[in-house]
Each structure stands twice: as C-alpha cells, then as structure tokens.
Structure 1
Amino acid sequence: MTVVDAHVHVYPEKIALRAAESVGDFYQYPMFKEGSIPAMLAAVEGSPITHHIIYSVATKPSNVESINDFIAAECKKHPNFVGFMAMHQDYPNPEAEIERAIGLGLRGMKLHPDTQKVNMDDDRLMRIYELIEGRMPLVMHCGDYRTDFSHPRRMKRILHEFPNLVVDAAHFGGWSVFDLAVEYLENENCFLDMSSSQKFLGRRRTRELCEIYGADRILFGSDFPMWNPSEEFEMFESLDFSKADFEKMTWHNAERFIGMDIR
C-alpha cells in the first residue's frame, strides 16, 4: 500500500520548535508537534503513510537558499521524501534559484501568501509562475478569513492566466473559507489538498467537498506539524470512499501532481 502525505512542513531541528510555535501563533491554534524530521517520522510510524511531500516557507528573501539546501539534503537522506523549493516575492534572482533548485532535485515550489504578506496574484509572483509553468508544480496556501492575500478569486485569476501551471490549491482551496472556495474553484483546473480541514468541517462536509471537486482532484495531506498525520489519515479513511477513489486521493493524484511514479 502506498500513501502520500502531500502537505508536510519541516524545519531543521535547531529551529523546529520555534518555527512550529510561530506557525501556531499565526493561526492561534496549538501545534501537534515541533516540526522536525524526526518528529514527523515518529508521528507516522506504524501508519499506512509511506511518502511525504516536504517543504518550508521563506518569510524573508534571505531564507530561500538555506531552506532549499535543507529540503534537498533531507530528500537525499530519505528516498520516500519529495522536496519542494521555497521562494519569496522579493528574492532578487528567482530564475537562477529555480534552476539551482531543479539541479538539487527539488520537484516543485511552495508559497504561502498570508505569512509572506503578498497577494498571490501580485506581479512579482506572476513573474515566478511564468518561470515555473510547465516545469514544476506549485503548492499554494489558499484562504484566510482574516486577510485577502490568498482569496480564492486570486487563485482563479492565476489559473486562467497560466493554464499550464500545475497547482495544488491547498486546504480545499480556501482555509477557513471553504464554502467560498467552491464558488471560485469548483470547475477550475487545479488539484486541492484537504489538509487542515477535517476537524473544522466534520465528516459529512469533508466528504461532500471531495465529491464536489471530484476524486481526481483531491490530495490527502496532513499539514504537519499542525496536525497528527496518522490521525488525519484515519479520519480520512473512515469516510468510506470506494477503493479506487481512495487510492486516487492518497496516491495516484500525487503522482500526477508531481509528474512521477511513487512506489
């Protein structure tokens, strides 16, 4: 059995506790764990989760290269990790860093407009989407009732301007504004991971959103270290999808998203 956790934040051990606390403060919600690799691996031990798409967010341009080096190094240590690069809207030479990240073996990019304090359709980021369109997939945090940076309407604009950009509109396309996201993204060409949603939505609405968007578009994700990956998987498994649909959402869609077989 192969199960891919498509939404995993990780940090170097020396800053993992501080980083997780900072994220918890931002969301006003306690973290499940400090966000180190050992803590993540311990959290999934004994669970069906076999593979992890890992990344971290650059809140400053100066963090981009060190994050990418860290993620690439961890992927070399762990063959079941798939690493995504960090980028920041004010990084001075995104073309060069994208090329370097590809050379390091990183497979995609992660952005978080709310913590990076930038509209996701800002011209600085639109330039970056142009650079990666057709070359690497993008995980984009979407939705926050407190801000407008990652509003689903902005995601819809991006998808229309870059039709060949492969995107995971994270958190069902609209964390904390899940129903609003449906209005903008129900019929768009993107994946949507379901991380950081189940305990807010409950069983019935989680399943309904999977059905609204369709099993071909949903990615299982835990949003570690915010949540316990094993518990997130157990809750998702309990929704009683067909075997074929469940394998799409926990495995095959991730393969399509990153453009590689996962075994």
Structure 2
Amino acid sequence: MIIDAHCHVWPDEIARKVLADRPVGLDPVHDGTLDGLRRTMDAAGIDMALTLAVANVGRTVRRTNEFVGRVDRSRFVPFGTVHPDLSVEENLAALRDNGVVGVKLHPLFQEVAFADERTREILVALAENNIPVLAHVGSGGDAHQNERGAPKSLHEMMAAISGLRLIAAHYGGYQVLDEAERWTVGTDIHLETSWPPSMGILPPERVISIIRRHGADRVVYGSDWPMTDPATEIAAIRALGLSPEDENAILGGNLAKLLGIDLPASG
C-alpha cells in the first residue's frame, strides 16, 4: 500500500486562485482539486492520501474543516486546520464536528509559531486527544516566516509537549537541511520525504544517511502535491536502493501504523 502524507487540496473554485500566487520556483504541476488528486493517485498507483487543508486566519477554520471533512474516506484521510486566534475548545470543536482526524500546521502561511505559547496550548490539547499533526518545518518564506517554523524551535516545542504524534515535513527542515540534521534527525518524531520541486535534487547518499540515522520505521513518504508529481517522488524513493522492507514501510506501512489504517493482507 502506498499512502501519500502530503497533499494540499482546496475547493474547486478556490484552487486556481490559490495556486496562481505561489512562491517563485514552485510552480504547481497539478490543479489542487480533489478530483485532480484522485486522478493523480490513480495514475501513480497511490492507494490513499492525506488531504491537507489550511486556514490562514481564525475566521476560516470552521469552513475549511467542513470542506476537508467531506472527503471520500475510502481514498482520503482528512487533515484539517487550527489557528491561535481561536480558543483551544473552538479549534477542537471545528475538528470534532467535521470528523477531521489530523491537523496540518503551516508556519509560512499561518500566524503559527512553534515558540508561541498559544500554538503550544493547542498542540497540548491535540496530544491529549490523540490527534496527529503534520507540520511544515524549515524555510520557504521571509525571515519572520522562516523563524516561526525553524527546526530548533520545533525541537524545543517537542521537548515541552508530551505525547504529540508529529510528522515533520521536508525531512524536518525545508531548505535548511543542516539545521534539520542537527535538531530533528534522531528525535522522537516522524520525518516526511517531500522536497519541492523534487527530492530528486537531494544527494541520494545524504537522504540514505538521514533515513538510517533517524530510523526507517519513522520516515513516511509525502509528495507535497500539487507542487510536485507524486510518481516522480515515489521513483526517487525507490531509486535509493533501500531494502524492500524499508521501502514498503516508508511508502505506506509506517504511516498506516501511525494513523491506524488497516493494511491489506499480504499474499
């Protein structure tokens, strides 16, 4: 089973507007809609995907979770949104009322900082309710945005919060892999493999070293759809020459275990 941990989606009428205003050098290769994601998954042989929906401001948290909560659960796992402008209970209610099973944090686009006490209060509540979190970690914006999601801040945050199931996107440090190797590799989190425009631009020997030092059982495949092509990212993982057991675990088994998704019987 292949499960993509990192797929951004928007309502059809919003996707085109959102993708028209992306950072230079990150041109989308797919359309950002649920139908587009399903077609991409079918073409790439992907069984399931985490559908990530992010509210940049507090007032759109509930309707964002309403949207992602309506996805087809046979193919999609809804990861919704929280925001520090809302109370802890308002955030939890917006997730619970829509059956959203996880949360995507995006320090580049939200007023969310790992060092912010308001963010930590929400994450403590998510940990207490066993709600997993996938977070953008690293750079990609201006200096202030990058500081909000810095690997060192993530390390300090995780030391202060007990029991949080966290997946750190981009090997724990997008565009700052040296910092990721210092602060996130080897810690008690899951690392996710996406690296726009493609993880294929990373030296394979460095990726293999990170996987071995962190533990292949705590690494999960993600593409960062629609900014990258999932089939290309899967091929890059398969080209690493990992053992079949480690390759299968990274491509889906580890994430299935983390989220409690039943794997098909082998044989």
Task: Report the CA distance between 1:28 and its aligned residue.
Answer: 4.0
State the distance in 1 between where 2:18 and 2:119 align: 24
Conserved? CA contact 2:6–2:224, under 8 Å: yes
The letter for the 2-side match of 1:183 is: R
Conserved? CA contact 1:136–1:258, under 8 Å: no
Where structure 1 has 5 or more consecutive residues not aligned to the other structure, the ranges are: none
Conserved? CA contact 1:159–1:188, under 8 Å: no
**What does 1:64-213 align with in structure 2 at a 5 Å threshold?**
64-74=61-71, 77-91=72-86, 93-134=87-128, 135-144=130-139, 146=143, 147-196=146-195, 198-213=199-214
The letter for the 2-side match of 1:180 is: E
State the distance in 2 between where 1:159 and 1:259 align: 22
Structural RMSD (CA): 1.7
Taking structure 2 as the reference length, the TM-score comes to 0.90
Match of 1:228 in 2: 229
Q: How many residues align?
A: 257
Q: Secondary structure at the match of 2:103?
A: strand
Match of 2:38 in 1: 41
Task: Report the CA distance between 1:181 and its aligned residue.
Answer: 0.7
Deviations 1:34-81 (A, max 9, x none): 21112212222232211001111111111111110111111xx34121
Deviations 1:157-191 (A, max 9, x none): 12111131010011100000012111012231100
Deviations 1:205-254 (A, max 9, x none): 22232222220110100000110111111221122211111121111210
Q: Secondary structure at the match of 2:77?
A: strand
State the distance in 1 between where 2:121 and 2:91 align: 14
Conserved? CA contact 1:108–1:258, under 8 Å: no
The letter for the 1-side match of 2:255 is: A
State the distance in 2 between where 1:46 and 1:85 align: 25
Conserved? CA contact 1:119–1:149, under 8 Å: yes
The letter for the 2-side match of 1:206 is: V
State the distance in 1 between where 2:91 and 2:122 align: 11
State the distance in 1 between where 2:118 and 2:25 align: 29
The letter for the 2-side match of 1:110 is: K
Among the aligned pairs, what percent are the same residue? 26
Q: Secondary structure at the match of 2:223?
A: coil
Conserved? CA contact 1:191–1:257, under 8 Å: no
Taking structure 1 as the reference length, the TM-score comes to 0.91
State the distance in 2 between where 1:30 and 1:161 align: 37
